Structure 1
């Protein structure tokens, strides 16, 4: 028996068929830390990080031999990769199995902060889809917005709403991902402090919360749409029992996923409806504890009236786009105050529907402020995959890149060849942000709230 893992948890797991509780306990007592990253497929750079084996169930994802100080890597701040726990990257295998990769669908990540699953969803779905990334907790939505901005895509809407708000969009989303708040037993190796907060009472509390979240939002899925439900818990009440409840109460069927035996993922089935679930145990694979199941909406779901609004003439000057953005990107541009945003043209009507019922933190990419007859470019624009590649730029070494990220004053001589005006600071060919080069100084426009405070 473990000296620190909850006895109630161990006793429950020992009852599972073929469960090796000694190996499970030993893995936690060793406390090995496994680090993995997932590359941004739209931002190619030569990483100064030693990549080891690929994560087998997710493309462009790798384990690292050691955990570097990511804060010191400019390419991390540029959105070239995302640091994500390997087990949760199984979402990529699910999207591919469902035939949704590069599909033109509407997707919702209901509990999205800090953004790992949203960046993964966005990478797999591509630029033909629309992704709504929602976070309930107001204090966490800022980091979600920052991470989506780093990712650089314009087809994302970041929202800050209670799950019940999405019941006002019945039959709208084709895919809904709910990584539900849970009792956290799957994170015990990564975060031993979480052990002190675990109890059977908390498991029951989390199970009730998960049902509330789903009950208040599940009608937003279209008939035939998919729900991907996951937790970082080992408790049946939060996992297989929830799949049973979804199937019984809301007319869903379970989706079985193909597995490679070498992955070490444990398939399970719920007791009542035989719904398929997938358990990740840290003694069987390179990842933390995780559970996921996929359900398909089979009962008919009514939707809302989708009357098209009268087209509005864009107030955005065409020159504001032509001077800064790649041509032929099928963009819809709109003003929000003085800010210019770009959004996929195909989802222009969708944005209006979302604005009617949700609190939107950010929509698309804010490319800057329109001041009189010129654009004051934003940091989001610098990180966007749609920023023009032939804009004035300066490649800098690591030391200067870190000075820029600290928002320090930069030496004017570094920019002697680019002339005066707006200039992109680049590291390994990837944009980090803007400076404005003047006759006798360089103004650093890296966002104050994002700067590196300590090196």
Structure 2
């Protein structure tokens, strides 16, 4: 049994929140039962052993025990993402507001790192839809980029900008997710540091920050577009009060979500606008604390001029070489940044050019590689992507032990068959590149994401 010393006044304040049950809440925090959940990548089917399904997310599953994800090659291949179950409710919101997927949409995940909700959104989108995953804090951008690389799709752009930088993009996004920085009380079970940092003053500070972020991003939401708002806080100041502020300050209407009584989710209404919100309490749900809500924007923020007719002139011979490594290359817009070739779904060419004019872009689609003469030096992103033409490259299947050696950048003990660039794969899923030479293998797995731990668990 775990003894949680809750911060002063925390339980007292929480007692007035909608649906709060002190007994079940405290028991859940004192229990040593560990809840582990993963979300499978629908683009990379695999034979991962799971237990029961997360009821509000068809790709989400609970595990009976927590394995060592670090030493599971399928994790590094992007076959699944380790994600807290409550946060998968965003999937349910997205499907509720967009059941038919008729017209292509543009989606922004404003506070995206480490990438759990970005990969969740991406799983629910079509290739003709665009996902922009933005992270405000520069040091958190690499982990966001790595996780989207593993997911493998080419309809994503990663940016590193403050919310106010999106203001010129008026009416640009059909759906904006703001998983706002918050006081973190919903993560007390998993993060005791969050307990030490919690205070009434910090709750108020977070409330003010949330208002600023939402006011900054509001112009970028399209008329009749949606704002999905979420926090990992229980405090009404960061949740229902924010919904009231949004409805009173802007022309927004609350959207009620269909939920099942079996799920244990508490439906709440904000005091003034009666806006619907959804609260997740440990003890009532198999997951951590979460608040989520969805609102529709009913006004037009004015139109910006997005037209950009700039066309990069690229050498045809180089394009022909690059295309051989790609499935259905005519579906892609190819571009060159310095010496790197990149590819993104053709439908997103104009959006990419528009975003490039206003934002600091860290990733555009998939980085394919660099040309050295008539040969491509393939990039790690290409290895993990769904666009790669596997008929054009060698592939070497590894055992689990060999895959761990590869992911550590150790020497790999295998018989060399063939020569040149080879995908290194585990259970049919690519992990990265190696170059096969007559008497050795050069391991090109990126140094910055290799496995550092020496403890092996099989």
Q: 1:282 is matched with which residue?
A: 282
Give a deviation string over 1:72-109, Cα, whole Å, max 9, x none.
00110010000000000001111110015645100000
Which residue number in structure 2 is paired with residue 98 of structure 1? 97
Distance 2:256 2:282 in 1: 22
Corresponding residue SS for 2:415: helix
Runs of 4+ in 1 over 4 A off after TM superposition: 100-103
- Shift in Å at residue 319 of structure 1? 2.6
Partner Cα distance (1:96, 1:17) in 2: 25
Provide the rounded CA distance (Å) in 2 between the counterparts of 1:100 and 1:149: 27
| SS of structure 1 residue aligned to 2:363 | strand
Q: State the match for 1:119 in structure 2.
A: 119
SS, match of residue 165 in structure 1: helix
Q: Note closer, same or farther for the CA distance 1:17–1:149 as it changes in structure 2 (3 Å cut).
A: closer
CA–CA distance in 1 between the matches of 2:185 and 2:310? 51
Distance across 2 between alignment mates of 1:6 and 1:110: 30
| Partner Cα separation in structure 2 for residue 194 and residue 405 of structure 1 | 32
User: Which residue of structure 2 aligns with residue 65 of structure 1?
Assistant: 64
Q: Could you say if the C-alpha distance between residues 442 and 17 of structure 1 is closer, same or farther in structure 2, counting changes exceeding 3 Å?
A: closer
Runs of 5+ in structure 1 lacking a partner? Answer: none
- Paired position in structure 2 for 1:443: 442
In the TM superposition, 1:50-449 aligns within 5 A as: 50-99=49-98, 102=101, 104-315=104-315, 317-327=318-328, 330-390=331-391, 391-411=393-413, 413-416=414-417, 419-449=418-448
TM-score with structure 1 setting the length:
0.96
CA deviations over 1:266-323 (Å, ceiling 9, x no partner):
0000000000000000110100000001010012221201224144433462333332
TM-score by length of structure 2 reads 0.95
Long gaps (5+) in structure 2: none
> In structure 2, how many angstroms separate the alpha carbons of the residues matched to 1:240 and 1:55?
25
Cα distance 1:315–1:348, how it changes in 2: closer, same or farther (>3 A)?
Answer: farther
- The farther-off stretch of 94-103 and 253-262 is 94-103
For each residue in 1:221-261, what CA deviation from the matched residue of structure 2 results, as whole angstroms up to 9, or x when unmatched?
Answer: 01000000000000000000001111111111000000000
Shift of 1:176: 0.2
For 1:348 and 1:100, locate their aligned partners in 2 and report how far apart those are by CA, in whole Å. 26
Distance (whole Å) between structure 2 residues aligned to residue 335 and residue 315 of structure 1: 10
Shift of 1:5: 1.4
Q: Check the 8 A contact 2:416/2:438 in 1, yes or no.
A: no
Tell me, in whole angstroms, the C-alpha distance in 2 between the residues paired with 1:3 and 1:125. 40
